[in-house]
Amino acid sequence: MAEERGRRPGNPQTRDEILEAAMRSFAAHGYGGTTIRAVARAAGVDPALVMHFFGNKDGLFEAAIKAGMPVALMVGALDGDESGLGERLVTRYLELWEDPAHGPRLAAVLHAAAATPATAALLKELISRELLAPVARRLSGDHPEVRALLAASQLIGLAMMRYLLKVEPLASLPARQVAAAAAPNVQRYLTGALSLDETAAARG
């Protein structure tokens, strides 16, 4: 039996420990280098228990994305006046990347999502449903979905250059300076004028 081999039975704490082991593996080895068997071994459980909780590696990765992407904390930055939304989002986003508890997980998610189309699709679906949609609902202007997506593209690009590629001098600037420089552009996407009509598109 599993318990006789030193394997722990399934319970909520065991599930969390499996998820922690999975996030460490995705961070260190990427999606392709992570296996159900290796995650189970790191968590001290039988591989069948990992399958029981998460179904397959895609299910495990999706759960890791949800655990690694502190969406609720980002959504919390939506509260407040719309005119300060860009500053709040950028500031919160940088705070999460700077946090030792969240930054490595965010990096692991982006690294893994860039590895294969399947993992990118999982991340896209999660971000669209749990982050972009709430941002769009918060906006009072036209084209809210496009505005939310443009703002998100700025944030992801900022993370890529500062935290993943570590391009200088951006990588070494204090986070508050980066937030002050980036927030106005994010705010423009969220509430400023956009040229999305057919005439403007034809000129572009």
Q: By CB neighbour count within 10 A (0-12 exposed, 13-18 middle, 19+ buried), where does 17 fall?
A: middle
CB-CB contact of 88 with 180 (8 Å): no
Whole-number percent of the chain with pLDDT over 90:
52
Instruction: Write the single-letter amino acid at 9.
Output: P
Q: What is the pTM of this model?
A: 0.77
Q: What is the per-residue pLDDT across 34-51, written as a single tens digit (0 to 9) for each? A: 899 999 999 999 999 999
CB-CB contact of 43 with 25 (8 Å): no
Give the whole-angstrom CA distance, residue 49 versus residue 30. 22
Provide the pLDDT confidence category of residue 101 given band limits of 50, 70 and 90. confident
103-118 mean pLDDT:
77
Answer yes or no: is pLDDT of 69 > 80: no
pLDDT at 11 (0 to 100)? 64
Instruction: Give the DSSP H/E element, type plus range, for residue 124.
Output: helix 117-127
Question: Mapping DSSP to helix (H, G, I), strand (E, B) and coil, where does residue 32 land?
Answer: coil
